[in-house]
């Protein structure tokens, strides 16, 4: 790694990527058996093709994927072909290609995990077998694995029982589906409470300073989940996030308190719900109708892209439906 000592601000993580690219193609590597078990393609969102990206255009996942790929490409371009030109015997062009760099990124994103070493240090590692454990919204393992010096083994503490012969799940973190697709290549089968629609609302404040009007501009982001996850769909929340409703009531000057007449409360709620319908209906229309697509013959990335759009459509549709139901309650 003396070849890297003059590379400005190269991180440990980037060095690991370069090491992984080399070891994967090193016939005398002490990790040869491990690298030979790894797939040639990890099928994460970072490898989505043109058709899958086209299906996602206009969605949050599309933006997330493009930003992630652009960031990784920029990292690669800062190193190559410069390193291959300076040190052709170390950084061979056929091994240190963009495709192999992306493969190494997907390896560490999708298979690495943080464990506590016997020294007590928390470290990101590639771990045979344990790296195959799948994610669940309701996992058996919530805490980091620990190296047990006495038994020379890696132990994972269970947060709930796991029956013998059953699949043992761990948590990859509190992530929405877009993150799990981008870096792991899947959507959870269960309802994911972290799947949200971010809604940016202007919270500008106009202040009079005596001579001219000044404006303090800021944006508040509210996270809106599918309303099927809410216990109550009636007033005063209608299955919607209370902070969002409070924000809109304040913005529309229709806040109420204990002394507000019931008729005014209903009218205020009507204004809020109609505002939400006007915000989310165009989002729903922008996603289009559910695709009548033969998914059995489609490529893996197109299927995953369509599944994500279905999820977004389901969340936004639940919000619009809840607003409609709330308006119907107010009319009854």
Say what percent of the chain tops pLDDT 90: 70
CA distance 221 to 200: 4
Q: pLDDT tens digits for 123-164?
A: 999 999 898 899 999 999 999 999 999 999 999 999 999 999
| Domain extents in the chain | 2-184, 197-208+216-331
Give the pLDDT confidence score for residue 59 in this predicted structure.
92
Residue 210 CB contacts under 8 Å (≥ 6 apart), including other chains:
none
Cβ burial 247-280 (10 Å sphere, 16+ → b, else e): bbbeeeebebeeeeeeeebeebbeebbebbbebb
Rounded to two decimals, the pTM is: 0.89
Residue 309's nearest CA partner among 180, 200, 189, 177 is: 177
Fold of 2-184: set domain protein methyltransferase, domain 1 (3.90.1410)
Give the CA distances from residue 47 to residues 42, 43, 191, 305, in Å, rounded to whole numbers and listed in that order: 8, 6, 25, 12
Residue 173's nearest CA partner among 155, 193, 156, 157 is: 193
**Which conformational region is residue 21 in: left (phi greater than 0), alpha (psi within -120 to 50 degrees), or beta?**
alpha
Helix (H, G, I), strand (E, B) or coil at 313: helix
Please, what's the largest Cα pairwise distance for the chain? 81
**Which conformational region is residue 273 in: left (phi greater than 0), alpha (psi within -120 to 50 degrees), or beta?**
alpha
Q: pLDDT tens digits for 236-261?
A: 888 898 888 888 988 888 877 777 88
């Amino acid at each position: 790694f003396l070849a890297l000592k003059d590379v400005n601000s190269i991180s440990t993580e980037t060095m690991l990527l370069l090491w992984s690219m080399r070891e994967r193609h090193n016939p005398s590597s002490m990790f040869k058996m491990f690298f030979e078990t790894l797939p040639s393609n990890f099928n994460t969102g970072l490898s989505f093709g043109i058709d899958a990206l086209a299906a996602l255009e206009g969605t949050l996942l599309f933006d997330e994927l493009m930003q992630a790929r652009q960031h990784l490409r920029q990292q690669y371009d800062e190193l190559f072909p410069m390193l291959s030109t300076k040190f052709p015997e170390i950084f061979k062009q056929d091994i240190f290609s963009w495709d192999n760099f992306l493969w190494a990124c997907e390896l560490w994103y999708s298979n690495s995990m943080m464990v506590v070493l016997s020294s007590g240090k928390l470290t990101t590692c590639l771990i045979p077998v344990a790296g195959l454990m799948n994610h669940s919204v309701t996992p058996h393992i919530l805490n980091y694995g620990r190296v047990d010096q006495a038994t020379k083994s890696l132990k994972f503490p269970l947060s709930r029982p796991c029956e013998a012969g059953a699949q043992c799940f761990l948590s990859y973190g509190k992530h929405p589906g877009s993150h799990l697709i981008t870096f792991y290549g899947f959507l959870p089968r269960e309802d994911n409470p972290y799947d949200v629609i971010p809604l940016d609302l202007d919270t500008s404040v106009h202040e009079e300073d005596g001579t001219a009007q000044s404006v303090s501009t800021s944006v508040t982001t509210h996270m809106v989940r599918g309303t099927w996850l809410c216990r109550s769909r009636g007033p005063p929340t209608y299955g919607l996030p209370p902070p969002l409703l409070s924000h809109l009531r304040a913005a529309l000057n229709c806040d109420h308190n204990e002394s507000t007449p019931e008729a005014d409360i209903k009218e205020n709620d009507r204004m809020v719900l109609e505002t939400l319908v006007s915000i989310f209906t165009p989002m729903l229309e922008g996603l289009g109708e559910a695709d009548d697509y033969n998914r059995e013959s489609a490529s893996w990335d197109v299927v995953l892209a369509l599944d994500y759009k279905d999820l977004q459509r389901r969340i936004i549709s639940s919000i619009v439906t809840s607003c409609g139901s709330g308006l119907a309650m107010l009319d009854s």
